Structure formats: structure tokens, C-alpha cells
Structure 1
Amino acid sequence: MPPFVETILFIFSLIVIGYGAAAFGLLKAQTGEGLSNFVVSVALPLLLFRTLLAADFGEGLPWGLWSAYFVGVAVTWTLGHITIRRTFGRDARAGVVAGVTASFANLVLLGLPLIAGIYGPEGLLLLSLIISIHLVVLMAVSMLLFEWALHRDGVAVASPGVVGFTKTFVSQLLSNPLIVGILVGLIGQLVGLELPNIATRLVDSMADIAAPLALFAMGMSLRNFGLAGHLVPAAALTLLKLMLMPAVVLVAALLLDLPPLTAQVAVVGAAMPAGVNAWLIANKFNTGQRLASTAMTMSTPLAVFSTLFWVWVVSIVFGS
């Protein structure tokens, strides 16, 4: 069995174990919520902090990596929006949710452990560089498009204005532990921060358990979300997420002539299933929650097969 196949099966098995623990009542739903909060608020921010603190930016900012990945985001978001509005006749707000769902990959809970397992520390750093702007960019775009959608659907409330929008956006960013971990790691790297031994051991102890706990907690959360209807449109968004987005990133990586490892991480990262942030954004704006929930639940198990496919494809195209 090729190593990457074993890694992918191992990672998705942890998700299944978490799902099973919730489904058979071995752990209460509150336990899953507590694990998820710990992972997102403590363990994963420390993992990102540690990774970026040790990063080497000798070659400058990864514009090629960001360009390839976000071309995939833009194309998939647009097609997801158009598909829901024109094919299924939904309003503009549902179209924004569809765009987010089709393009907002689960780079944190699933992407970090998977990329680290397949491509090692160098791959983990490359994915961390995508994550460092991923949430910022997609949150900003989703907030702007929802303002547009509210006016388009004729249900707009008073606009917060540029100052109000900026305050809300910055407040949400700085209250997100993942963003804080990224920022502190980048600042520490720039100023040459060296942690004392005791601090290093503390960070390592938390960061090292982030991956398995994230996968287990993700499995438990999938049990809570489930399939909430809208199966056909969710299936369309799942197809866009798992197949179109990585294909677009693959083409962009070839056109930009990205280094082999950079290209592989970008494509496999783009192949991750829809993340919970799509549901959180839908819930925040009180529209499309069931569509986002179903697409996330549907795309995650199917990602076992699509991830195997895309890892195999990039190993051939870019070399392994």
C-alpha cells in the first residue's frame, strides 16, 4: 500500500471513530463541543504558531502559491453561486452561502493533519501560509457579498458603512484564536523570538495532539450536523468543491510553474471538503444553514476517494 494511501485512510478513520463515538452514545454531544472548542481555541492555534515561528521566508511571500489557490476559490465560488441561483432558483443570499460552501475548504481540522501526514513539515508550512490569509480573505468577501445580497433581495437593513464594516471585520478576526496564533507566530518569526525550553515544551505538548483531536472532534461534529435536506443542490456544490476547485488550482499551478511540493500542497488543500465555516457564516446571516450543513456532511466522506484521486494525480503531474 502506498504511504499516502495509508495516511489518508488513517486520517479518515479517526473521523469515523469520532462519528461512531457520537452515534453510539459513547460520548455526549457536549463532549464533542468541548473537544472542538479546545482544538480550535488552543491546540491548532499553537500548532500554527509553532509552524510559522520556525518558518523561513528567505524567498519572500508565496505569491505564486496564493495566486494558484485563490484562483480556484474565485472560480468555484462564482460557479457555486451561479448554480444555486440559476439552476435551483434560489435568492442572492442563498447564492452567497453556496459560493462559500463550494470554495471554503476544511484546511484546518482536516487539511493540517492530512498535509502534515503526507508531505511532512515542509508541506505543513506551505498549507499554513495559505491558512494565514484564507480565513481573512473569505470572511471579508462573504461579508461584502452578503451586504450586496441583502440589497439584491430587497431585505437590506441600514448599511453599517465603511467604518462600521471595518470595526466588525477586525473585531471578528482578532477574536478568532486561529488568526491570533497566526499573527503571533508571524510576529515572533519576524522579530526572531526564541522561546525558553519550558515554553517550547508546553507549546509542543499542545501542538502535537492537535491533529488527532481535531479529526476525532470533526467526526463527532458531523454526527450533530447530518444531512438536513437540499440533497441535490448540496450534491452539486460537493462536486464543485471536491473536483472542480482542485482541477482549477492544478491548472493554475502549471501555468504559474510552481515548485512541485508547493503545487501538490495547493491542489490537495483545494481538494479538502467543505468546512464548518461555511455553516457558521450561513448561520450568522440566518440563511442557507441546511444547504451548508448537508454539503459539509456529504462532502466529508466522499473526500476519502477524491483526496486519494488528487494525491495520486499530483504525484504523477508534479512528481513525488
Structure 2
Amino acid sequence: MLEIIGLIAPFFGLIAVGGIAGRAKKLPVSELGWLNVFVVYIALPALFFSLLSETPVEKLTQWSFIATNVGMTFTVAAVTFGLGMLFSRGKVADSTIQGLAGAYGNIGYMGPGLALLVFGPEAAVPVALIFCFENIMHFTLAPAMMALAGRDTESPARLALTVVRQVVTHPFIVAVFLGVAAAVTGWEPPAPLARLIDYLAQAAAPCALFAMGVTLANRRTRGVPGALGYIVPMKLLGHPFIMLAGLTFFGPFDPVWVGTAVLLAALPTASNVFVMAQQFETWVDQASASILVTTLLSIVTVTLLLYGIESAGLLQ
């Protein structure tokens, strides 16, 4: 257990440093603009490209793994949505954000750094595939459900076009496609460009975690919503358990891929859930509380999960 704590302490420590800096210097989230641009549009895309461009093509077409992973995450979203509908007495918009809070993990900022730290380079491909296809699902599901709830006045055709545009222009997904294209064609960047990409990739995790800490320090909650009584256990415990069960039943898959998928499923609610709540003007404060509470509790739950992974002999 001490080995596990020593492994992830620097990881969560970076989040804590960001939180302390945000509080001490009273940094508003708005002042993180350029750092977020660097992380989202430059550093993390460079990391995804770097990892995927050197991957054998046959590893990029594990469709059964992709389908199972996305299917299990969708199952978690559907169950949480159903609980939301039950306890909110049929409020589709609120229940949609609750479904996202229970199923949409922080696989962008936290996922790559933690998975590579735990499993090494072998985790690169499953991380990228999970990120790409789960985000496509979430970006599609949220506006479709909001349209059903009457929160989106766009026509179905215009809504579909908006969803496609969000997916194909997301910098992470663009980087994934470019990395796959480089792997398929065998293209290698010139040495100076390759070094630049490596420098940017190495900066991705520290900058992302620091920015996440500052953002968490600025979270304000107006009480703890009752829905967290089922969202928190679903996100931190139910999601990884359902993911493990699904991958075991529909497998076998590479143990490192299974471990990576379960680890990413155990991550706390993504900040994008708050962004979507703001976009659709529903369940905004509660979404913020979900992110804060799941992130704080994930320090314990992720540590225990990693202890289980170590006991299974998967830790690098």
C-alpha cells in the first residue's frame, strides 16, 4: 500500500499545489485561460499524437474492446439517468446532467498521466481509444437528450451538424486521428519537430493537473444535493465495477487494457459536465458539487483500486 501511495502522491500532489496556489493567490478561473488553451489545444494533443503515431496499426482496431468499453459507460449513464428521473419526478434535463456526472470521468486531464504512470507506455493506446470514443458518445448523448427535454430549439438536422462539428473539431480527437494516420502511413516527424512534440507531451500532465487544482479551488457549492447519494457511489464504485464485469464477460482482453479501462472508469466526474450544465442552464451548482466531491473522494477510492491492481500483478 505504501508503494501505491508513493506512486500517486505526486499525481494528486500536483492537483493540491494548484488548489493551494489558487486559494493563496486568489486566482479566478478566468485567469487560467491561456494555460487551459495550452493544455487542451497543444500539450495533451501532442501527447496523444506522440503515443499513437508509434503504435502498431493492429492495436488500433480493437473494435470489440471499444464497443464493450463504450457500452459499459453508456450503461452507467443510463442507470444514473434512470435514478435521476425517479428522484426528480421526470425532469429529463436534470437527469441528463446527473447521468453524465455518474458516467463521464475526468479521462482528459487525469486519465493519460495516471494510466501511463501506473501501466507504462502499454496503456497509451487504450487511453486514447477510450477517450476518443467515450467523448463521441457523451458529446452526442447530451445535446440529443436536451433536445428531447425541450432545452434545445435547433432542428434535428442542425443539431446533428452541431454534434458532428463538436466531435470532429475537438483537439484531442483531431490529435487521435492524426496519430492513427501517422501510424498507418509510417510517417515520422523530422527530428526537431519530434523533439518539440516530446517537450509538449511531457508538459501535458503537470499543467493539466495544476489547472485542475486551481479550478477545484474556485468551485462553490450551495449545499450538497441529495442526488450525490447515488451519483458518487455510481461514479467511483459502480462505474469501475461494471466496466470490469463487462470486459471480463465479453473478453478476454489484454490485462493492461482491462486495467486501464477500469482505472479510467474510476476517475471522478469530468469538468466538462459542469460546462454542459452551464451550456444548457440546468443543474449547474449541483454539477459543480459532483465534480468537487468525487474528486476529493477519488483520492481514497483510486488508491484502493490501484492496490487491487497491484495485487493482480498489473502494476508496472
- The two structures share one fold, judged by TM-score above 0.5: yes
1:123 CA displacement: 1.2
1:282 CA displacement: 1.4
**Residue from 269, 274, 289 that aligns with 1:274:** 269
Correspondence list, 1:52-63, <5 A: 52-59=52-59, 61-63=61-63
Q: Which residue of 2 aligns with 1:176?
A: 170
**What letter matches 1:112 in structure 2?**
P
1:313 CA displacement: 2.5
Correspondence list, 1:291-302, <5 A: 291-302=286-297
Correspondence list, 1:103-252, <5 A: 103-150=103-150, 157=153, 159-162=154-157, 164-252=158-246
- Say whether residues 1:257 and 2:252 are aligned partners: yes
Q: Map Cα deviations across residues 128-152 of structure 1 (whole Å, 9 max, x no partner).
A: 12112121121112222221222xx
**What letter matches 2:47 in structure 1?**
L
State the alpha-carbon separation in 1 of the partners of residues 300 and 66 from structure 2.
Answer: 25
Correspondence list, 1:64-79, <5 A: 64-79=64-79
**What letter matches 1:302 in structure 2?**
L
Count of equivalent residues: 314
State the alpha-carbon separation in 1 of the partners of residues 293 and 36 from structure 2.
Answer: 20
Once structures 1 and 2 are overlaid, which stretch shifts more, 66-75 or 9-18?
66-75
1:92 CA displacement: 0.7
Preserved contact between residue 96 and residue 149 of structure 1 (Cα < 8 Å)? no
Change (3 A) 1:185 1:216: same
Structure 2's unaligned 5+ residue stretches are none
**Residue from 261, 281, 287 that aligns with 2:282:** 287
State the alpha-carbon separation in 1 of the partners of residues 90 and 160 from structure 2.
Answer: 29
Q: Which residue of 2 aligns with 1:16?
A: 16
**What letter matches 2:300 in structure 1?**
F
State the alpha-carbon separation in 2 of the partners of residues 268 and 46 from structure 1.
Answer: 22
1:289 CA displacement: 1.2
State the alpha-carbon separation in 2 of the partners of residues 215 and 192 from structure 1.
Answer: 32
- Say whether residues 1:36 and 2:30 are aligned partners: no
**What letter matches 1:283 in structure 2?**
Q
Percent of paired sites with the same residue: 23
Preserved contact between residue 69 and residue 267 of structure 1 (Cα < 8 Å)? no
Q: Map Cα deviations across residues 254-309 of structure 1 (whole Å, 9 max, x no partner).
A: 21222211111111110000001111111111111112111001100111111112
Once structures 1 and 2 are overlaid, which stretch shifts more, 261-270 or 130-139?
130-139
Preserved contact between residue 19 and residue 222 of structure 1 (Cα < 8 Å)? yes
- TM-score (ref. length: structure 2): 0.92
Preserved contact between residue 230 and residue 290 of structure 1 (Cα < 8 Å)? no
Preserved contact between residue 136 and residue 173 of structure 1 (Cα < 8 Å)? yes
State the alpha-carbon separation in 2 of the partners of residues 107 and 273 from structure 1.
Answer: 9
Q: Map Cα deviations across residues 88-127 of structure 1 (whole Å, 9 max, x no partner).
A: 4361100111111110010110111111111111113221
1:161 CA displacement: 2.4
Preserved contact between residue 71 and residue 248 of structure 1 (Cα < 8 Å)? no
